Amino acid sequence: MLAFTLAIGLKAQKADATFTPKQILIGEQAVMTLSVSYQKDQLPVVVFPLFGDTLITNVEIVRTTDVDTLSTAEDVSETRLEKKIYLTSWDTGFYAIPPIEITINGEKQSTEAFLLTVKTVEIDTTGGIKAPSEIYDVEVGYQDYLEAYWYYPVGALSLAGLIVAIILLVRAQRKKRDARPEVIQQEPTRPANEIAQERLLEIQHDKIYSRGKIKQYHTEITDVLRDYLEVIYEIPAHELTSNEILTRLRYVGLTDQEALQLRVVLNRADMVKFAKDRPDNNENEEAINQTLGFVTTTAERMLTDKEINE
């Protein structure tokens, strides 16, 4: 809880943005990089804005990247979060890119504005109209015909191969259908909460943090938690940052207590993994208890909702 409180309370540096290049030709791309710098031991809660297909009129968004944490050496105290937006335009002109709002620890920060210049390819009109080239005869051999019409024999061979493959597939399906199928009894799938609770209890029993393996301990807890979130809420939790997970689950019906438990567990693990924080034994035990509490209460509520709907 102490690590979470410190992470929320500390003030992050001002949001920043870079834009390159600021002049492009029609159809070329420019990259706008949004970033938030912070001390490694002062992990902020950052929410980048969501973007659609268009940034402003006539400026389209080609793609955006996920939020990435820059890797730095251990002796460097500062790092930053980055998100890149790739832009293009198909109309010439000057386009003012407005400031972008980034929320840092609940406070909205604005980046600076940029001017994007879009030009077309210049055509030299001073040379005049040139005379047409002379017509000349070209000898055509069998190699020329082969280069021009190679797709006919290749297409015929491909069609013949496809017909043979279909015949073989039909025969194989008939043999499989005529064969007596072997009945395999599959074990029923266990509920995700039972699997998560069992693994968490094993982690709690092992107490590897008492042997100095604090980072591994919190990594194992969050791995179990992310597996559970992927099954229950159908999100790619292992591919998302902690802030992205919290954003995705903002409207799934979590109670304030559940949202707080999830935020504390994820942020504490980030502090251990990236800021080399070393929680005491009470905080380590609290991490497993909070995760168990989150899994238990969310699973019970979803089961109750399912029974009501049925």
Task: Please tell me the distance from the alpha carbon of residue 136 to that of residue 186, in angstroms, as a whole number.
Answer: 76
Mean pLDDT of the chain: 84
In the predicted structure, residue 162 carries a pLDDT above the cut 70:
yes
Q: How far is CA 176 from the centre of its chain?
A: 42
56 or 13, greater pLDDT = 56
The overall longest dimension of the chain from CA atoms, in Å, is 91
pLDDT of residue 199: 94
Q: How confident is the model at residue 306 (pLDDT cuts 50, 70, 90)?
A: low
As a whole number, mean pLDDT of residues 282-288 equals: 91
In terms of Cα–Cα distance, which of 243, 205, 309, 253 is closest to 68? 243
- Say which DSSP state 29 is in: E
Sole residue written with tokens 């005049």 = 128
Nearby residues of 247 by Cβ (< 8 Å), 6 or more positions away: 47
- Tell the CATH topology of 2-119: Immunoglobulin-like (2.60.40)
- Give the tens place of pLDDT for each residue, 104-141: 888 898 899 999 999 987 766 666 666 777 777 777 77
pLDDT band at 7 (very low <50, low <70, confident <90, very high): very low
Domain ranges of the chain: 2-119, 192-303
Using a pLDDT cut of 90, give the percent of the chain over it. 37
Nearest to 246 by CA among 219, 221, 265, 227: 265
pLDDT(8) > 60: no
pLDDT at position 310 is: 55
